[in-house]
Amino acid sequence: SKGVQFCERDNRTIACRAFPFFPYYASNKEIFGLGYYWGFEGLCWVISNMRIVEKTFVDQMIKSCEYIFDRDEDERDVYVTYSATMRGVFTKWNRKIPLLGRDGKLYWVLPGSGGKIVPVDKQKFERSLPKFDGDK
């Protein structure tokens, strides 16, 4: 990799275009919305400011993912598994998973609930997000 300064924007992969988000699969194995790669908490400003993400982006990302996954079930399975792993990790941490729903609303996945997803108001959602530490 040559680094961000050499990014060929027209040739980026779907994962790069979607970063830091991925299609979050609920425990019923249906795409619920967008989760984020939790390994980048504190490092990625967008994770700490998910409110800036527009519904148009969520819609287009989910539509693109569904197009790909309809043609490549193995790729779909990667995200089904990753979503389940996230539920397990956040349960161990006793933390709610913040999600951007495909309906444009904000949600939490409750820890230790078997994947129960509940709506949350904007203020509570924003207070629960990991803080960006640009000095890391």
Strands (E), the chain: 21-25, 31-36, 97-101, 106-109, 117-119
Work out the average pLDDT over 68-83: 94
Establish if 3 belongs to a structural domain.
no
Q: What is the pLDDT of residues 7-50, one digit of tens each?
A: 565 655 666 777 899 999 999 999 999 999 999 998 889 999 99
Establish if 72 belongs to a structural domain.
yes
Establish if 41 belongs to a structural domain.
yes
Establish if 2 belongs to a structural domain.
no
Establish if 79 belongs to a structural domain.
yes
* Cα–Cα distance, 9 to 124 (Å, whole number): 35
Count: domains in the chain: 1
Domain that holds residue 43: 14-128
Establish if 133 belongs to a structural domain.
no
Establish if 52 belongs to a structural domain.
yes
pLDDT of residue 8: 63
Establish if 4 belongs to a structural domain.
no
**With bands split at pLDDT 50, 70 and 90, how would you rate the model's confidence at 2?**
low
Does the pTM surpass 0.75? The reply is yes
